[in-house]
Amino acid sequence: MSTQANNYFQPLPDLPKPFGTSQCLLFKEEILICGGQQTNDCYSYHTLKKQYKYICSYPDDVKLNGHCVIQLNHSQTNPNETHLLSFGGQNTNIMKQTFSMKYTSVWEIDDNNNHQSDSKSEDLSFNTWIRHNQDSNIGKLENDFRGVRGLME
């Protein structure tokens, strides 16, 4: 049994920095690592290239203490992008925060040197956490959302 398990699991290169209670998602050949207790940074690990690449960071004022990131597959219109929703990680009596991101592979952007967007605002709409306004946050002030989890079907 141990030999069989070794065939499925392989050690990965060390992470670029410490991540505690981070959230990870699979997108094509990438593992997206979205922040954690020690860092607000997000990285992509390319499973074929066996390398990490920085994506973006949550805003500096955000504390991630058991947050949740889910993939919104139902809103997919382009197979080369995915939509992410991040919420939770706040204790009671702390304002809840919700973010969304339209992710496109950081590997494909660099591989296509001819990727030029028509405007700067188009570049900013991808691979950046966008903070939702207070009336669209998930959770109430009195909720403890540390360690919250979610599932989208």
Digit-coded pLDDT (tens) for 53-101: 999 999 999 989 889 999 987 766 788 899 999 988 887 888 888 999 9
Quote the pLDDT of residue 6.
Answer: 63
How many other CB atoms are found less than 10 A from the CB of residue 44? 20
Q: Is the pLDDT of residue 42 over 80?
A: yes
Name the pLDDT band for 121 (thresholds 50, 70, 90): very low
Name the pLDDT band for 120 (thresholds 50, 70, 90): very low
The tokens for 48 are: 């074929």
pTM of the model: 0.81
Cα 32 to Cα 16: distance, rounded to the nearest angstrom: 13
Quote the pLDDT of residue 58.
Answer: 96
The tokens for 149 are: 């989890």
First to last CA, the chain: 32
**Phi and psi angles of residue 8, each rounded to the nearest 5 degrees, phi first:** -95, -30
Q: Chain-wide mean pLDDT for the chain? A: 83
Q: Is 48 exposed, middle or buried (0-12, 13-18, 19+ CB in 10 A)?
A: exposed
- In tens, the pLDDT along 11-36 reads 888 888 888 889 999 999 999 999 99
Quote the pLDDT of residue 75.
Answer: 63
